Structure 1
Amino acid sequence: MSDAKYFQRGKIQELRAELNSDKKDRQHTKKKTVLKKIVANMTMGNDMSSLFQDVINCMQIPVLEIKKMVYLYLINYSRTKPDMAVMAIPTFVKDAEDQNPLIRALAIRTMGYINVEKVVDALIDPLRHCLRDQDPYVRKTAAITVAKLYMYDRLLVESDGFIDMLRDLLADSNPTVVANAVAALTEISERSDNIQLKLNMNVTTKLVVALNECSEWGQTYILEALMSFVPQDVGDAELLSELIAPRLQHANSSVVLTAVKVIIYFMNYMTKEDEIISMCRKLSPPLVTLLSNGPEVQYVALRNILLIIQRRPEVLRNDMKVFFCKYNDPIYVKLAKLEIMFRLANATNVDQVLSELKEYATEVDVDFVRKAVRSIGRLAVKIEQTADRCIAALMELIQTKVNYVVQEAIVVIKDIFRKYPNQYERIIGTLCENLDNLDEPEAKAAMIWIIGQYADRIENSDVLLDDFLYTFLDEPVEVQLALLTATVKLFIKRPTAGKDLVPKVLKWATEDVDNPDLRDRGYIYWRLLSTDPTAAKAVVLSEKPRISTETDNMEPALLDELLLHIASLSSIYHKSPQTFIHHSKPRFLIPSPVLNRQYQDPITSLPVQNVDAGSSRNPGGLDSNPYALDIVNLGNNTNGDNLLLDL
C-alpha cells in the first residue's frame, strides 16, 4: 500500500495516545504506523516537537526501522529542544555497542548530526571505538562522522587524535572505508585555515589502486584527494596519469570530469612533451562522450571544455563536428558550443565552421543569431586567410535587413576594420545605408567610429555625424564618447566640414553632461585643438594597435586556478571560488623539481617556497611509514597556527 495515506494532518493528542497505547503489539506494527504519521507531518512542516518525550521512549524498541524514524525525529528537533535531546544519550551509547552493525552505525551518524554539547561529549568514546570496529560499514560511517564533528569542534578533533585515526583508515582493507577516510581528511583540510593535506607517493599509489573497487562516489572522493599529491620525481605524474586513465571510461560524469581534472593537474609536472600530447589525446573521447548526455550535463561539460582547450589546445582539436549545434539544443548549450567552435577554429576547418555559422545566423532565436554573427566577425579577426569570406558572409546578412543582425554585423565589422586597415573600406557605403536601423548603443558607437575613422573618404560624413548629434544629450555615455572623438577626427581631417560641429560638441561635453570621463576627454580635445593642432592630429589620429582575439583569453593566473577546480561550480561560473564561497581555500600549483613552468604565488607574486614537512627526520622528506601523519609548525609561527598533514 502507498505511504501517501500517512501525509495527513494528525492531531497531537491522538498521535500521543497511539504511541502510548497498552495494547499488545509484539511486532510493533502500530508504533511503526504512528511514527510514520509523525515523520510525514514533520516533513510537511507541521510542528511535532511536543511529542519529543513520547518519541524518545520508542528508542528502546530494538527494531531498525523504528530506530531510523526516531533518530530522524531527533535530528530535526534537537536544535529547538537541546535539553530534551540529552535524554537520548544513554540509548545512543547503548546502540553504539549493539550487535547489529547497522544500528551501531546509525547511532554514531545520528549523534554526529546533533550539535548539542553534551551529545558531542558523549559521542567521543563511541566514535573512537567505531573507527576501529570490525564491520567496514561502521568504520566508513565513523570516518564521515569525524568530518561532521570537526565542523562543530575543530580543537576537539585535533587534540583527541581523530585525525591520526583517519590516517590509519587509509590502510584499511575495505576500499569504501578508505574512500570515506580520504573524503573526511579532504573536507577537514578544506575547512581548516591552518591545516593542509599532503600525500606522498606510497599513499597516492595505494589510493589509485583502491579506485578499482570503490563505488562511483568513493572514486570521486579519492580522485579529488589526489590533487593533494605534488610529484617530486620524473615519471611520477606519468605513472599516476596512466593508472587514473581507465576512470575516463566510467559511466558516471562526475568520475570522468574529476579524472580529467587530476590528469590535467599532473600534466603540469610532466617533462616529456610526447607524454603530454598522448594524455591530451586520451582526454578527447571521454569529453566527447559527455556531450551525449542530457543538456544539463552537456552544459557542465562544455564550460569545463572551454577552460581545458585554452590551456591544452591539443585536446579536441580534431573533434569540431561534435560541437555543431542541434536544432533541439537549449539556448545555453548552443551559446556554449558556439564559443568552443570559435576557439577550435583554425585554417584547416574554418570553412565548415563558417558554413555552420552562416546557417545559425538565419535561425529564429535572437540571442543565438547575435552570437553567430559576432562569431563570424571574430573568425575574420582570428584567421586572416578567411577574412574575405567572413566579410562576404556579413554583407549577405546585412542585406537581409533584419535589425538585430545588421547591428551585430556593424559591431564586428568595426573590429575587422581595426584589424585590417585600408582593406575593406569598399563596404562602408553599404553600412551607411542602414543608419536608420541602429537603435542599440554598441552598434551606434561602432558606426560612429567607422564614420569618424574614414571621415575623409565618406563624402557626407559631416551630415551623418550631424544627424547623430541631434540626440547627443540623450544618448548613453558609450555613444557620446564615440560622437565626441568622431567629430574631432572629422575636424582634423576636413576642417571646413567639421568647424561648425566641433564647438557645439565640445560645449555639450564640458558643460552639459555629468559623466567625468566625457568631460575630461572634452577638455583634453579642446585644449589640444586650441593650443597645438599638430599635436592634436598626432594624438587623435595616431596609429592604433591592431586588435587580436588574444584579448578574449582568460587571465593565465585565473585559468591556472580554474583548471584546479574542474567539475565544480567554479569551472561553470568561470570565477574563482573565493568570489562566491566564504573562506574557500585558494588552490595553486605547488613548485617541485619537475614542475614544467614557472609559477608565481598569486598573492605575493614571488616564487612559492616548498615546505618539506619530513626533512628533519630523513633525507627524503617523508616518513618511512607510508601512512605517517605529521603535524608540524610551518614558518616562524610558534603557536602551531599552521599545520601540515603529511600523509
Structure 2
Amino acid sequence: MLPHAVSFSILKTGDAKYFTTTKKGEVFELKAELNSDKKERRRDAVKKVIAAMTVGKDVSALFPDVLNCMQTDNLELKKLVYLYLMNYAKSQPDLAIMAINTFVKDSGDANPLIRALAIRTMGCIRVDKISEYLCDPLRNCLKDNDPYVKKTAAVCVAKLYDINPQLVEDQGFLDELKELLSDSNQMVVANAVAALSEITDSSPSGTPLVWMDSTAINKLLIALNECAEWGQIFILDSVANYTPQHELEAQSICERIIPRLAHANAAVKLSTVKVLMKYMEIITDAEFVNMLTRKLTPPLVTLLASEPELQYVALRNINLIVQKRPEILKREVKAFFVNYNDPIYIKLEKLDIMIRLTSKENIGQVLSELKEYGSEVDVDFVRKSVRAIGRCAIKVEEFSERCVTTLLELIQTKVNYVVQEAVVVIKDVFRKYPNKYEGIIGILCECLDTLDEPEARASMIWIIGEYAERIDNAGDLLEGFLHGFADENIQVQLQLLTAIVKLFLKRPSESQELVQQVLSLATQTDNPDLRDRGFIYWRLLSADPAAAKEVVLSEKPLILDEMDLLEPSLLDELLCHISSLASVYHKPPSAFMDEVSGQRKALPIGFQFSEETSSLDAQSIDSSEECPVVEVEDLLGVDMAPTGFEYGPIGQSATSGESSVDLLSSSLDELGLGNPFLCALSAIPAPYSSPKALWLPAAKGKGLEIYGTFVRKNQEIYMEMTLTNQSTDALSDFAIQFNKNSFGVIPALPLQVPSPLPPNGSCEVSLLLSTTGSIQKTNPLNNLQVAIKNSVGVLYFTCLIPMHVFFTGDGQMDRRVFLSTWKELPAQHEVQYTLENMALNPDIVVQKMKQNNVFTIARQHVEDHDVLYQSIKLTNNLWILVEIRIPLGESFPTVSWLIFFVGALSMNRILS
C-alpha cells in the first residue's frame, strides 16, 4: 500500500489542520518541535511531518529527528514514525540502520499489535542492510502465539523474498511458511497461501513452491469457510492449480466450493467459476456437469448488475466462458440486452456475447433487439449492431432470409452510416450463401452514390464484380468508380482492379477498353501491391485467358461465423486465468507479463555475471525450443519457390568439404545462418562473403541468367550480380523491385546495367541496398522476392539473404545489459544447433567472429568447455544473443558447437 494512502488511515478527521500550514522556515520549526521535551508537541510535530510528506513536500532532512521519536510507548506516535521510515529509509539507508535496535526490541514487545507493526515495517523498508537484521525477528514472529502476528509475518516473508530471494531460501523461511498451512487459525492459513502464491509468481522458475496433495487441499477447503474474502481468492486460485487424482475427488471439491458462488465479492465468484470450469473438463458424469452448469448461471447473470467497471470485467470473462460452454447462458440472452444508459464499452461487449448466444430458439428476440439498436444515436454502436445482424444471418441459416430483410429495412432508413455498414455485411452474406439473395442487388445499386467510406465502396465493387453477368450496366457502374481511380483508397483500388478483370472474363466483348484502362492505371501507380497485382493480371490475360479465368473466377471458401473465436488452446489457457488481467485482455500472461509486472525470467542456462571477474559462471544447460517460423502468403501471386542456391562457376563455395549442419525442424539455412554462418567461423583472412549462387536460370529468365550474392562492405549492404544474356536479342531498360520482406530491404539506388546487354554478353552489377522499406514476415525469414524488368518483360525469382550481412558494427552490448536482456527473453525464442568438423580454437573464433560483427561479451572456462557469450545487432535494431560452447582438447580435428540464439529484443515484430 502506498505511504500516502496509509497516512490518511492514521491521521484523524480532526487533524486536517496539519495540511494547511504554509509557514516559511517550516522545516526549522518542525525540527525544534520534534526535539521538544513535551510528548504532545512531539506527536503534533510528527503529524505535521506526515501531512507535509503526504502533500509531496520533501521532509527527508528531518530523518534523524523523527527517528529520535521512535522510543515511545504511544502506539499512535509509533505508527506515524514507522510510516515516515517506510517512505524515506531508501533515500537514507545509513541513517535507517540506526532504527534496527528499536525494530528488534519492538518485535519482542508484549503487545501483539506492536510486534506486528515492527515486523510489517521492517518488511516494507526495501534496504538490503536492514533485511539482514530482519531474519531473527521474522523467524520468531512466524512462531508467535498470536495469530495476528503470524499472519503479518507470513506476508513479510513474501516482501523479503522480493528484496532478497536467496536470503529467504537460505534461512528456511519457505519451509516455515509451508508449516503455517496447517495452522489452526484460518486467517494465518489464508495469508500463508497468499504469500506462497506471490513468491511463486515472482520466482524465476515460476514453479509452485508447495506440492499440493489431497491432504493439503482438504486443509485449504476447511479454511475457505472462515477466512476473509481476499484469503478465499488465494485459496481458490491454489485449488484451481491442483489436478485431482480421480473424478470423485474433483466432484467432492466442486460440491465444497459451490457455496462460494453466492458470495457478495465478484472476485470470489469468478475464482470459484475458474475452478469449476477447469474441473468440468475432468468430470465425465453428464448429470453432475449439468448440475454445475445450472449452478453457474445465476452468479454470472448477477455480475451484470454491478457498476460499469466491474460489469466490463465480468463481461470479458463471460465472453471466454460462452466460447467454451455456451450452454451455461444459452437461456439468458435477455440479460445481455443493452440498456440505454450503458457506457459504450459495455454495449459493445454485451453485443458480442449476445451474438455468441444466438440460436434458433432465440434469434427472433435477438433480431428485434438489434433492429431497435439501429436507431440509436451512438454511431459505433449502430455500426456494430448492423454488423451483428449479418453475423446472425451467417450463424443461423434457417433465419438468414429474415436477417437480410431486416438489413434491407435498415437500408431504407437512408441513414448514411447504416447503409454503408449494411452493404459491408451483405457482401459477407453473399459469400456465405452464393446465388441465393441476388435479387437485392438492384436495391444496393440504388445506394451507390451515397457510399463514401472505403470499406463500403470496396464491398459494393466486389458485389458488382462477383455478379457482373447478372447486372446489365455493370460496366457503367465500374467505370464510374474508375474516373477517380487515383484518389481512391488502396482497398477500393484493389477491389476495382479485380472486379473489372472479372467483368472482362465474363463479358469480354463489352469491357476490353475498360480492362486496358484499369491495368494501365494500376501498373503506373507507386503502390507495390496494386502495381504487382496489375502486372500479374496483365500477364495472365495476355498469356493464357483460360488460366486467368481459373484463377480469378475460382470458387471461394464459404465465410464462417466462428472466424472470431479464440484458438482452442489459447481459450483453454485463458480459462485457467479467469478473474485475472489475462482474461480481460484475452491474451496469455506471457504476452504482457514482462512489460506490466517487470518480472524477470530465469536465464536459459544458469549463469550470472561476476563483478570481480566480469565473466560468466556457467553451471548447466537447459533444453532449447525451436524458433517458430510463420508462413507468409505469396504476395506476387506467382511461383516464387526458392531456387535452391545452385552454385555456379563464378563463385565456389568455401565450405564444400564441410558436413551438413545438424538440423531441428527448421534449418540454419532458413534463418540465413547455414553455410554462410559456418564460413564466418572458418579460417579466412577477411569478413566472409557468400559465393554467388544461381538465382535465375536462362530457361526461366527468357534468356537472362543471373548469378548473385549479398555482401557487406564499409558497413553497407550490396547485392552483387552477374547478368548474362543467353538470348539472341539485346536486352535493355533494366529496373529492379523487391517485395516486402522481414528486414525491410529495398534498393537504395536504381539498377545500373550497361544498356543494351548484347547476346552472349555478361556484366557485373553492384546494387546498394537499404533497410528502410516496409516489413512483412516471410518464410524463411531471410527470403527475398525480386522482380527484375527489362525489354522482354518482368521476371521473378527468389533468393536467400545471408543473415551475416545484416550484422552491424555497433553490436558490442554492455555486459550488464547483456545479462538483464538474457533474463527477460522468452524461452520460445531460443534455438540450439550443433556444428561439426570445426577445427578452430577459441582465440581464432573470437577474432573471426569480430571480423564479421559478432562481438564477444565474456569468455569463461567451464569444466571441459570454453564458453563464449556474444552479441549481434542487426540493421533494423534487432539483437541476437549467442552462446558458443567449445570442447577443449590438445587438438581440434572435430569440434561440436552449441549455439543458442535466444531471440531478439523486438523479434515479435517479425514472428507475431
TM-score by length of 1: 0.88
TM superposition shift of 1:4? 2.0
Residue of 285, 299, 310 corresponding to 1:272: 285
Matches within 5 A, 1:169-208: 169-197=180-208, 198-208=211-221
CA offset digits 1:210-265 (Å, max 9, x no partner): 11101111111111121221122222221111111100000011111111111112
TM superposition shift of 1:2? 2.9
CA offset digits 1:357-378 (Å, max 9, x no partner): 0011111111111111110111
SS in 2 for 1:347: coil
Q: Is the 8 A contact 2:322 2:329 kept in 1?
A: yes
Q: Is residue 547 from structure 1 mapped to residue 559 from structure 2 by the alignment?
A: yes
SS in 2 for 1:389: helix
- The 1-side partners of 2:456 and 2:161 are apart by 56
Q: Is residue 117 from structure 1 mapped to residue 125 from structure 2 by the alignment?
A: no
Question: Where is the strand percentage greater, Structure 1 or Structure 2?
Answer: 2
Partner of 1:78: 89
Q: Is the 8 A contact 1:473 1:513 kept in 2?
A: no
Matches within 5 A, 1:542-581: 542-581=554-593
TM superposition shift of 1:584? 6.3
Deviates more, 1:190-199 or 1:73-82: 190-199
SS in 1 for 2:17: helix
Q: Is residue 17 from structure 1 mapped to residue 29 from structure 2 by the alignment?
A: no
Partner of 1:488: 501
CA offset digits 1:307-361 (Å, max 9, x no partner): 0010011111111111111111111111111111100010011000000000111
Structure 2 letter corresponding to 1:158: E
Matches within 5 A, 1:22-61: 22=37, 25=38, 28-61=39-72
Residue of 353, 364, 368 corresponding to 2:381: 368
Residue of 533, 538, 545 corresponding to 1:526: 538
Q: Is the 8 A contact 1:419 1:548 kept in 2?
A: yes
Q: Is residue 316 from structure 1 mapped to residue 319 from structure 2 by the alignment?
A: no
Structure 1 letter corresponding to 2:29: E
CA offset digits 1:157-204 (Å, max 9, x no partner): 112111101100000011111011001111111111225214111111
Partner of 1:235: 248
Q: Is the 8 A contact 1:281 1:314 kept in 2?
A: no
Residue of 114, 119, 122 corresponding to 1:108: 119
Deviates more, 1:223-232 or 1:131-140: 223-232
Structure 1 letter corresponding to 2:192: A
- Give % identity: 59
TM superposition shift of 1:277? 2.4
SS in 2 for 1:321: helix
Residue of 461, 464, 469 corresponding to 2:482: 469
Partner of 2:99: 88
Partner of 1:418: 431
Structure 2 letter corresponding to 1:173: S
Question: Which stretches in structure 2 are left out of the alignment for 5+ residues?
Answer: 1-12, 602-624, 629-862, 864-912
- The 1-side partners of 2:271 and 2:435 are apart by 49
Residue of 132, 144, 150 corresponding to 1:139: 150
SS in 1 for 2:364: helix
SS in 1 for 2:468: coil
Q: Is residue 222 from structure 1 mapped to residue 235 from structure 2 by the alignment?
A: yes
Partner of 2:399: 386
- The 1-side partners of 2:567 and 2:329 are apart by 22
Q: Is the 8 A contact 2:430 2:437 kept in 1?
A: yes
- The 2-side partners of 1:522 and 1:245 are apart by 63
In structure 2, do the counterparts of structure 1 residues 567 and 604 end up closer, same or farther at CA, with 3 Å as the change threshold?
A: farther
- The 2-side partners of 1:81 and 1:470 are apart by 74
TM superposition shift of 1:505? 2.0
Partner of 1:99: 110
Q: Is the 8 A contact 2:128 2:163 kept in 1?
A: no
TM-score by length of 2: 0.63
Q: Is the 8 A contact 1:277 1:314 kept in 2?
A: no
- The 2-side partners of 1:532 and 1:294 are apart by 64
- The 2-side partners of 1:65 and 1:500 are apart by 92
SS in 1 for 2:207: strand
In structure 2, do the counterparts of structure 1 residues 526 and 585 end up closer, same or farther at CA, with 3 Å as the change threshold?
A: farther
TM superposition shift of 1:503? 2.0
Structure 2 letter corresponding to 1:54: D
Partner of 1:634: none
Q: Is residue 499 from structure 1 mapped to residue 482 from structure 2 by the alignment?
A: no
Structure 1 letter corresponding to 2:183: D
- The 2-side partners of 1:195 and 1:440 are apart by 49
Partner of 1:401: 414
In structure 2, do the counterparts of structure 1 residues 195 and 537 end up closer, same or farther at CA, with 3 Å as the change threshold?
A: closer
CA offset digits 1:551-583 (Å, max 9, x no partner): 121111211111111111211111122222207
Structure 1 letter corresponding to 2:222: V
SS in 2 for 1:462: helix
Q: Is residue 4 from structure 1 mapped to residue 23 from structure 2 by the alignment?
A: no
TM superposition shift of 1:603? 8.4
Structure 1 letter corresponding to 2:380: D
CA offset digits 1:260-294 (Å, max 9, x no partner): 11111222222223322221221110001111111
- The 2-side partners of 1:207 and 1:603 are apart by 40
- The 2-side partners of 1:241 and 1:21 are apart by 62
Structure 2 letter corresponding to 1:559: L
In structure 2, do the counterparts of structure 1 residues 585 and 205 end up closer, same or farther at CA, with 3 Å as the change threshold?
A: farther
- The 2-side partners of 1:131 and 1:414 are apart by 68
Q: Is residue 344 from structure 1 mapped to residue 357 from structure 2 by the alignment?
A: yes
- The 2-side partners of 1:580 and 1:226 are apart by 25
In structure 2, do the counterparts of structure 1 residues 584 and 419 end up closer, same or farther at CA, with 3 Å as the change threshold?
A: farther
- The 2-side partners of 1:603 and 1:377 are apart by 41
Residue of 428, 431, 439 corresponding to 2:452: 439
CA offset digits 1:440-494 (Å, max 9, x no partner): 1111111110010011111111111112122322322222221111111011011
TM superposition shift of 1:51? 0.3
- The 1-side partners of 2:457 and 2:79 are apart by 66
TM superposition shift of 1:522? 2.0
Structure 2 letter corresponding to 1:252: N
Structure 2 letter corresponding to 1:238: Q
SS in 2 for 1:421: coil
- The 2-side partners of 1:557 and 1:157 are apart by 36
Structure 2 letter corresponding to 1:192: S
SS in 2 for 1:302: helix
Deviates more, 1:209-218 or 1:228-237: 228-237
Partner of 1:595: none
Partner of 1:152: 163
TM superposition shift of 1:113? 1.3
Partner of 2:77: 66
- The 2-side partners of 1:463 and 1:532 are apart by 26
Aligned residues: 587
TM superposition shift of 1:134? 0.6
Partner of 2:441: 428
Partner of 1:615: none
Q: Is the 8 A contact 2:154 2:195 kept in 1?
A: yes
Q: Is the 8 A contact 1:201 1:229 kept in 2?
A: no
- The 1-side partners of 2:265 and 2:58 are apart by 40
- The 2-side partners of 1:109 and 1:201 are apart by 33
TM superposition shift of 1:514? 2.2
Q: Is the 8 A contact 1:109 1:141 kept in 2?
A: yes
